[in-house]
Amino acid sequence: MRARLAVLVTALTFTLPSAALADGREESRAQFRRGVELVRQENFKAAKEAFERAYELFPHPSILLNLGTARLKVGDYVQAERDLARFLSDDGGAPADEVEGARRALAETRTHLGTARVRIEPTGARVRIDGQDAAVASGRFTDVRLALGRHRLVASYEGHAPADVSFEVTDPAAPVEVRRTLTPVRREIPLDGGEAGPSPLGLALAGTGVAALGVGAYSGLRARSLASDYNEPGSGHYQDAATRREGVTFRTAADVAFLVGILSVGAGIYLLFVDRPRSSSTARAREIARGSP
């Protein structure tokens, strides 16, 4: 194959059309000649780069033959297959020996390649194989050409857990099927700022409780003052029945007010900080994330 490649690129040095001398095509021809020399030196990596530059400057089918063959030599089998197949589909009237050489190179290239039949859902998922983006059609299987050996596929889609799949292509004639459906991630998605504001009922209960405690404190102090007057000789209210009744009334009011205040404050704190209500849109977002209609 090395001898055959040298013959082909030598011939093509003279078959490039003379129009290559205009508008930057002269540089393309210079790069092509450089690639030919590098092939003679069996420096196929540098030759590939020279042919790539030549084709970039002037995309003539004849360059594809040499570029594809150089890529075959360095193990870039997927790109080599594309280049050689394209040359054969648009050879521009190349000589029969060049066409035959391209067919042989393509046949050799395909012994190093296999096919992965890939289908990833949902539609629009991003697919990368061996770190490179892969063009995978939505909703159906797509054939992806790969070198024989192990490969890694990573698929991702917003709102879904990514898939990380390792697989192996072992037989050029037997496609490997890789199919995954990404799983939605269940999470709360606030639609209008997340949680609702403080509970109105909690605020009302807390306020009522504080007021009741204030009333209880006042009533307790008043009841204590009346009890002192009732029991103190010479106070003017000593053993006075009316003073006694008033003192009992204030003491009862204090007990009731303290009880109401403690219960109200406790309930208000619970509603404000423990059982804080969520906004309706957040609750709806939770239902959507869980798949509810």
pLDDT tens figures, 169-212: 999 999 999 999 999 997 655 555 555 567 788 788 788 978 88
161 has a pLDDT exceeding 60: yes
Distance CA 75, CA 34 (A): 21
Burial pattern 212-231, b for ≥16 Cβ within 10 A else e, equals: bbebbeebbebbeebbebbe
CB 35 within 8 A of CB 81: no
Distance CA 37, CA 29 (A): 13
- Structure confidence at residue 187 (pLDDT): 66
Name the residue with higher pLDDT: 271 or 74: 74
The SS3 of residue 164 is strand
Mean residue pLDDT of the chain comes to: 82
Homologous superfamily (CATH) of 113-181 is Carboxypeptidase-like, regulatory domain (2.60.40.1120)
Name the residue with higher pLDDT: 21 or 147: 147
pTM: 0.57
Assigned CATH topology for domain 2-110? 1.25.40
- Structure confidence at residue 14 (pLDDT): 37
Distance CA 48, CA 280 (A): 62
Say what percent of the chain tops pLDDT 70. Answer: 81
Question: Which band of pLDDT confidence, cut at 50, 70 and 90, is reported for residue 8?
Answer: low
Structure tokens at 285: 């977002």
- Structure confidence at residue 110 (pLDDT): 96
Q: Is 2-110's fold the same as 113-181's? A: no
Distance CA 66, CA 86 (A): 12
Say what percent of the chain tops pLDDT 90. Answer: 47
Sign of CA dihedral 243, 245, 246, 251: positive
Query: Between β-strands 163-169 and 132-133, what pairing exists: parallel, antiparallel or unpaired?
Result: unpaired
Name the residue with higher pLDDT: 222 or 35: 35
Distance CA 86, CA 79 (A): 11
Tens-digit pLDDT profile for residues 248-277: 898 898 888 888 879 888 887 887 777 665
Name the residue with higher pLDDT: 252 or 230: 252
Long-range contacts of 36-45 (CB under 8 A, 24+ apart): 36/9, 36/10, 36/12, 36/66, 39/5, 39/6, 39/9, 39/66, 39/70, 40/6, 42/2, 44/70, 44/73, 44/74, 45/74
291 has a pLDDT exceeding 60: no
**Least reliable range by pLDDT among 63-77, 79-93, 143-157, 232-246:** 232-246
Which distant-in-sequence residues (6+ apart) come within 8 Å of 19 by Cβ?
25
The SS3 of residue 37 is helix
- Structure confidence at residue 198 (pLDDT): 76
11 has a pLDDT exceeding 60: no
Phi, psi of 48, deg, nearest 5: -60, -45
The residue ranges of every structural domain in the chain are 2-110, 113-181, 200-289
